Structure formats: structure tokens, C-alpha cells
Amino acid sequence: MLGRRNPQRSLFSAQTLPHRVAVESFYGRMASVSEVLFSDEDMAGMYCADNGRPSLPPSLLSGVMLLQFHDNVSDAEAVERLQFDLRWQVALDLPTDFAGFDPSSLTYFRRRLVEHGQERYAFDRFVAVGRAAGFIPDRVTLLTDTTRATGAGAVQDTYTLLRKGVRKLLKQMGYGTAGKQRGLSAETQRLVQTYLAEDRKAAIDWADPAQRAAQLRVLFADADLVLALAAAHGEDADVRATGWMLAKIMGDDIVVDEGGQPQIAQGVAPDRLISLTDPEMRHGHKSRAQRFDGFKVAVTTDQSSDLILDIQDIPAPGSDGRALLGTIARVEEHTDVSVVRVLGDGAYGSGANRAACAAQEVDLLAPIRRPADPVVDKSAFQIDLVQQTVTCPQGQTVSAKPGPQQQGQPTFTATFPRALCQACPLFQRCVRSKRHGRTVSTHPFEAHLQAARQRQESDEFKSCYRQRSAIERSIAHLVHHGVRQTRYRGQAKRQLQRLFTAAVVNLKRLFSLSAEHAVDLKALLSPRGPTALPIQAT
């Protein structure tokens, strides 16, 4: 049953007693709107209407979570601060003798938010306030970028992945129960004893390559055996999922040599699984030198207000730009605005993104990589898409032939005669083939890329693109509040952490904007609506 906060203050309310919490601090500003910051009625649908004990007020728990992500503390530390930190008591309008509650209440509340699809509650509430105040215009320019985030699971090597995978699969097939162990074959009994009864890392000299190789053979053979057991086990979804992961580990991490012996594969598979405790974690790179294990967090802000309009986990490997179209769709759906322009770095400027944005009348500003040798780069050739001809930097023109379709779009290829190229002073720099002259193939979205290259040299592009750097300020705030350390496993709970962290940053920004424009933020947060006209954003 829904529990509600008592509107009558305690005699020992921290806000009414003398205190030294600065009015201009985050805690002081939060105290000024504490009674209307969150509403119990907004979350009534998560609770039974007429049965059970009254819950802890969801408005209180939402406020606690907001402060928890602001200070980047654990559940246990959050409850302790409720009891002993005057700043928290003032911010939430609690009595100084507040008894607290069990930290597990926060765990159950997060679970309830996820189960009822309310993980966006605080984030959407503050964005809606920004819209009502006029800070976010009807037509927005988005700034977007990503940052890294470590995962909550343990990163495991191939040996541990195989051992833990075999163990997990045996447990899911029920071999850990006493009844299931009767009548087993000797081989299956050995698997149960080795991986369920003991579950210890092999007692070998791990510095000895021969002993490591022997252990890999044992693990590989045992994984094959348990996968065969799983294939005959039936259609259990958990067994199938774990079996798939174990098979993927074997396929990505191990190769079989000519003698039929398993060996650790050289290199890293693009989508290599690195943890069984959090199977969605992956190796990622923000640069060639900066590697991390976990996820990327895509952050998108409104240029005019600096408010975060979207935040989303994306897989660690691969280009940042693949998340762009989903970001635009979510911003327009949840914020009720029209996206007219997006500023992103070069990762967002793929031909497919440019074509999709053009179809939606969204102006995408993203730079294109500058060539190492611009004199002979493909961009130095004049490509006529209508006549299907290509002219080289020296003025030689050849006709092109149709090539294969790519991404559903036609392409064509032009090959210059080798004799013609050999007579050119740029031959050594331009031609790599030993048999033919220079070959130029068009991109499936060549027209969009050509237009982008030309625009990139304009003063208008340079002036607009400089404004993209403002996204770094919002990302710095998110990093300060712990967005790079993932607390939870599972996409829904990870997203809850990202959204509440972004809600903290947005609330801080709303405090600044409301002071700057003399807007009554408390009136905007109140369920009765604003008492003053909002500003008109430009």
C-alpha cells in the first residue's frame, strides 16, 4: 500500500532549527523545493491501493536516491547520512532524530521502479519543468558525445570464463541438487564433483606454459561435455542462454591447431564476452591508448539550456554514431520537441547517419576525417554522380562502371588506365596497385559525404561546430557524480543509474537557470502548476 509523507512538520525538523547549511548550496536549494520536488501520488500505480502495510513514501525514497547519486554513496552510507548528516536532513526536510530505515528498502524501491517502467520518473520530471519554464525551446539543437563506464561485473580470463561457464550450466540443469545426482554416468559425476562440489581454480603452476596448456585442454574438453548434456536437456531458456555464452567463449577465445589441440586465440574477437557475472560487458576503446571494460554512455544535451535530454548505455565496442538515430527519436518522444540540428564529433558523421538525418530534416554537423595526403586522396577527385565519371587531380576523366549495392544503395567504380597513371608525376603517391591504375569507388551515400566535405570548409560550419564543446561540461558533471562507475548489473538497472545521475545534473542546472531568469522553480514543480509566466527561451 502507498505510504505518504506527513505534511505536518516535526518539532525537530532540520529546516526549522538553526543550521549552517548554505542556502546557495545544492542541499540548501533542494530544501527550498523539498515539499514539491517529488509527489507520492505520481508513483501510486506502483503500489496496491487497498492492501498491505503502508510503504516508505516514494517521494522520500526518490529524494534519497537523488542525494545518493549526487554524493555517489552506497545504500548503507545513504541511510547513515539520513540519520547523521545535517545537509541531507535539511535537503529532505527531515527531523534531526530521523530513525532511518534498512538499506534494502532502496534496493526494493529501485526494483519496483524498474518493474513498473518508472526509472525515468525523476529525469523526465525535471526535463518537463525545463520545458514548462521555457528553458528548452520547441525546436532544439542537440550536442552529443559519449564517455566510458566500467561494468559492475568481474573481468575474467579465458580459463575462468570456461570454468565458471561449465559450473553455471551444470547448476542450471539441476545437477547441484541431491536428487539429480543419482544414476549419473561416471563422467557426469566427475563434472559435478569438479565444478559444483569444489569450484576451485586448478592447483597448477600458472607461470608454466605447459601446465597452462594442459589445463586449457581439460577445460575445453569438459566444456564440450557439458554442452552435449545441455543439448539433450530440453528447451529451458536459461540453459540455452548459458550454453550459448559458453559456446561463444570457446569460439571467440580458442582455436584448435593442426594437431587438434585447443590454443588461446591471438587477438581479440570484436564482441568478445569478458564476464559471466555481467555478460553484457565488453572491451572498449575511447582512443587507441585508452582501453576500458564495460559500456559507453551516450549523453545528449540541449544547446540553449545545457539540460541533458537523453542518456543511454551503448555497447563498448564499435562507433559512437550508431546510437544517433535512437537518441533523436527518444528526445522527440519524451521531451515533445523537434530536433532541427545535431552537433557531434566525427564518429557521428557516417553516410548513413547523414542520409537519415537529411530525410528527417535534421541538420547534422559532424566533421569528416581529413586525409593524410590531400593531394591524392579520394576527396581530391571530382566525382560526377549523374554522369558517373571521375576526374583525377591532374584533369584526366574516365567513365565508371556500376558496382555492388551497399546498404541498399547503388555504387560505381572507376579505374584509370595504368599507362595514363604512369605518365603522371603523382603516380608513386597515388597508385598502390601493381597491375592497374588508380581505382576510385563511390560510397553508398557519396552525395551526402561530398556535401559535408564542402560545408566543412565554410566559416558557418566552423562557427557552429565550436559550440559542440559545451557537451564536455555536462559530461564532466556526470563523471563527478559517478556515472563512470556502474553500480548495477542488467540493462534496466544500469539505465536507472544513468537517468538518476543525469537528473541530479539537470536539477543543479535548473537551480542555476531559475536564479538567472528569476523563475519560481518551486511553483513550476508544484502539482498546482506555475504561478508566474515562464521565460521565453531563444
Check whether 395 has a pLDDT greater than 90. yes
Band (pLDDT 50/70/90 cuts) for residue 182 is low
Tens of pLDDT, residue by residue over 416-430, are 999 999 999 999 999
DSSP string for 108-159: HHHHHHHHTT-TTHHHHHHHHHHHHHTSS-SEEEEEEEEEEEE-SSPP--HH
Side chain identity at 373, as an amino acid letter?
D
Greater confidence, 49 or 130? Answer: 130
Beta bridge partners of 338: 139
How many other CB atoms are found less than 10 A from the CB of residue 286?
14
Question: Where, residue-wise, is CATH 3.30.420.10 in the chain?
Answer: 138-153+284-369+454-506+516-538
The CA distance from 482 to 498, in Å, is 9
Q: What is the mean pLDDT of residues 491-495?
A: 95
User: 485: which DSSP letter?
Assistant: B
Question: Checking DSSP bridges between strand 389-391 and strand 382-384, what pairing results, if any?
Answer: antiparallel
Q: Are 149 and 295 in contact (CB under 8 A)?
A: yes
Q: Residue 518 — left, alpha, or beta (φ > 0 → left; ψ -120 to 50 → alpha)?
A: left
What 3-state DSSP class applies to 315?
A: strand
**Model confidence over 269-304: pLDDT tens digits?**
889 999 999 999 999 987 777 889 999 999 999 999
Rounded Cα distance between 342 and 364, Å, is 5
Residues shown for the chain: 538
Band the pLDDT of 531: cuts 50, 70, 90.
very low
Across 163-167, 242-246, 282-286, 346-350, least confident range: 282-286
Model pLDDT, residue 186: 86
More confident of the two residues 513 and 403: 513
pLDDT at position 532 over 60: no
Instruction: Reply yes or no on domain 138-153+284-369+454-506+516-538 having CATH 3.30.420.10.
Output: yes
pLDDT tops 90 at residue 50: no
Q: Which residues pair with 314 in a beta bridge?
A: 296
In the structure grid, which three cell numbers stand for residue 244, read together? 550459448
pLDDT at 174 over 50: yes
Neighbouring-strand partners of residue 140: 339
Average pLDDT over residues 16-43: 93
Question: What pLDDT, on a 0 to 100 scale, did the predictor assign at position 535?
Answer: 43
DSSP run (H or E) holding 291: strand 291-302
pLDDT for 36 beyond 60: yes
For the ranges 32-41, 167-176, 177-186, which has the lowest average pLDDT? Answer: 177-186
- Range from 6-15, 177-186, 303-312, 386-395 carrying the lowest mean pLDDT: 177-186
Cell of 519: 523563475
513 neighbors 305 (Cβ within 8 angstroms):
yes
Per-residue pLDDT at 536: 41
C-alpha dist (Å) from residue 207 to 161, 210, 211, 212, 220? 19, 9, 8, 8, 20
Mean pLDDT of 188-208: 88
Residue 206 in this model has a pLDDT that exceeds 50 = yes
Residue type at position 369: R
pLDDT at res. 385: 92
What is the pTM for the complete model shown?
A: 0.91
Contact (Cβ atoms closer than 8 angstroms) between residue 354 and residue 364: yes
Q: Give CA–CA dist 197/102, Å, rounded.
A: 34
Structure confidence at residue 12 as a pLDDT band (50, 70, 90)? confident
What is the rounded average pLDDT for all residues in the chain?
A: 92
pLDDT tier at 103, thresholds 50, 70, 90? very high
Compute φ and ψ for 322, nearest 5 degrees. -65, -15
Mean pLDDT of 53-76: 96
User: Does residue 386 sit in helix, strand or coil?
Assistant: coil
Contacts with 334 (C-beta within 8 Å, 6 or more apart), sequence order: 120, 124, 127, 309, 310
Whether the Cβ atoms of residue 368 and residue 349 lie closer than 8 Å to each other:
yes
pLDDT score of 269: 86
Tens digits of per-residue pLDDT, 114-165? 999 999 999 999 999 999 999 999 999 999 999 999 999 999 999 999 999 9
Q: Name every residue whose Cβ is closer than 8 Å to that of residue 44 and which is 6 or more positions away in sequence.
A: 2
Structure confidence at residue 193 as a pLDDT band (50, 70, 90): confident
Please give the full DSSP string across 161-207, using - where no structure is assigned.
HHHHHHHHHHHHTTTTSTGGGTT--HHHHHHHIIIIII-----S-TT
CA distance 74 to 65: 10
Q: Give the pLDDT of residue 234.
A: 67
10 Å Cβ neighbour count for 213? 13
Average pLDDT over residues 470-496: 96
pLDDT at 507: 98
